[in-house]
Structure 1
Amino acid sequence: MTDDRGYLLDNRRTEAGTRFEAISELCDPWTFRHLDELGAGPGMRCWEVGAGGPSVPAWLGARAGEQGRVLATDIDVSWTRPAAGGPVEVRRHDLVEDAPPAETFDLVHARLVLVHLAERERALRTLVDALRPGGALLIEDADPALQPLACPDERGPEERLANKVRNGFRELLAGRGADLAYGRTLPRLLREAGLADVRADAFFPVTSPACGVLEAATIRQLRDQLIAAGHATGEEVDRLLDAVDAGRLDITIAPLISAWGRKP
């Protein structure tokens, strides 16, 4: 998702493609399992919100088949566009500013979207309203405050530097309106929105090569902001990137909270 008004990780940067690929490698199996259990299948009508890369809409399109429909939306659809075709329509759409789709859906999914929005309460209401009776909503968002470290095993200077820079990244996110404790609130918010049979769980990889790829791409994308805000020097950023690229660090990501429920 790209938002000129506040979203920190601008999808127009070249690092965005690397970030999407790493997120896909890490999170897609987790996301697909939830979507499968919620009934993703032939003939379904699905809205993929803030799609970013093409992997989730393409998977949903393959499940929906020619009798189904997948609407994949984002403010910037340049990375989503390869998924278009068959049952998948890719459309530019601002969840906060634009009118919602006129249709309703059997399944609505948003991953790593609402946490970044200042008007996340109104955005969540839009997603709930887009459900047909019996339709399922799956929201997946990070909770960086639940586990704030890049390297939980802080055994040496490189790990301490990684955690220092990750803390700076969190401060930059918060400064743009992100709610760093949003993920844990999702079950309550879905219940308060009127959904039934609400459940939630969390994905937390301790370490993975894809975690390192994602961390390095994020640091490269935000290098200037991190330095300008005093969170790291240029030499520290270079030293950290060298350690990450060389695979010397066990890097993790913030827990991804998945919460879901059905519209009565």
Structure 2
Amino acid sequence: MTEQGKDHGYLLDNQQSEAGIRFGALAELFDPVTFRHIDRIGITEGMRCWEVGAGGPSVPAGLAERVGATGQVVCTDIDVSWARDAASDVVEVLRHDVAADPPPPGGFDLVHARLVLVHVVDRAEALHRMVQALRPGGVLLLEDADPGLQPLLCPDESGPEQRLANRLRSGFRELMASRGADLSYGRTLPRRLREAGLLDVRADAYFPITSPACTVLEAATVRQIRGRLVAAGIATDEDIDRHLANVATGDLDLATAPMISAWGRRP
């Protein structure tokens, strides 16, 4: 995330205790998808990778396994509190603003950002800097949510518990949009990679429903933004308590917004 995103666009502060729970749930949901793409791209021993807006340690650690002792992973974020555990002889962890700071030097075989640019206010500049950091033949892999494509927490809105869940999710989207998030950004990734001059652009999407990790993610997210939901008049404390109790039963079929993965190669 950028500093601007932290103040105006990024609603979920890494300093809060729930952040670690969220990173764990996001890793469980999306790491298999991310590494399926990374392995298809062909990230192997000796390569250099830049993990942008890392958040938690799981992706840097997985990249380190692939590049081995002769490779390097540079892991950056504006808040590296939860990524420090990934630091090693192979993984360098740096505090960095992707839309304001120069890219780490040296050039990269892979630049990857997951669930980052949707929150960054100056997305175009961040994307430009990531493209410029690629070596010739290097690949940019961007993965971002598109809440506009599927806005519901409970796609099967079958009762009052599901209606409450969807009302709170709608309020969460309003808060994100008011802070500069682009809720339709994910679907634009293939076009943006082509416009940036990348070749062999491909994309797909992943849409989890009814995973235990979705339940963990929702509870942690609502606890993080509870005060903002109440302050904005979107929900009362009683609404939130009732929703968290409903989530805790494990009986709601909770979903996430689709995560769109797009990748392209620098000539």
User: Identity percentage over the alignment?
Assistant: 67
Question: Aligned letter for 2:64?
Answer: G
CA distance in 1 between partners of 2:210 and 2:200 (Å): 32
Indicate which of 128, 152, 155 corresponds to 2:155: 152
What's 2:7 paired with?
5
Matches within 5 A, 1:92-131: 92-131=95-134
What's 1:41 paired with?
44
Question: Aligned letter for 2:7?
Answer: R
Poorly superposed stretches of 4+, deviation over 6 Å: none
Answering whether residue 180 of structure 2 is matched by residue 177 of structure 1, we say yes
> Structure 1 residues 182, 144: CA separation in 2 closer, same or farther (over 3 Å shift)?
same
Structure 2 segments unaligned to the other structure (5+ residues)? none
CA distance in 2 between partners of 1:92 and 1:103 (Å): 17
Question: Aligned letter for 2:158?
Answer: R
After superposition, the C-alpha distances for 1:216-253 in whole angstroms (9 at most, x for unaligned) are 10000000100111111110100000010111211000
Question: Aligned letter for 1:27?
Answer: F
Question: Aligned letter for 2:76?
Answer: T
Q: Secondary structure at the match of 1:5?
A: helix
Question: Aligned letter for 2:29?
Answer: L
TM-score for the superposition, normalised by structure 2 = 0.97
Indicate which of 187, 191, 199 corresponds to 2:190: 187
Is the 1:2–1:10 Cα contact (8 Å) retained in structure 2?
no
Is the 2:202–2:262 Cα contact (8 Å) retained in structure 1?
yes
Is the 1:2–1:76 Cα contact (8 Å) retained in structure 2?
no
What's 1:258 paired with?
261
CA distance in 2 between partners of 1:38 and 1:160 (Å): 41
Structure 1 segments unaligned to the other structure (5+ residues)? none
TM-score for the superposition, normalised by structure 1 = 0.98
CA distance in 2 between partners of 1:100 and 1:261 (Å): 18
CA distance in 2 between partners of 1:203 and 1:175 (Å): 26
Q: Secondary structure at the match of 2:256?
A: coil
Matches within 5 A, 1:1-264: 1=1, 3=3, 4-6=6-8, 7-264=10-267
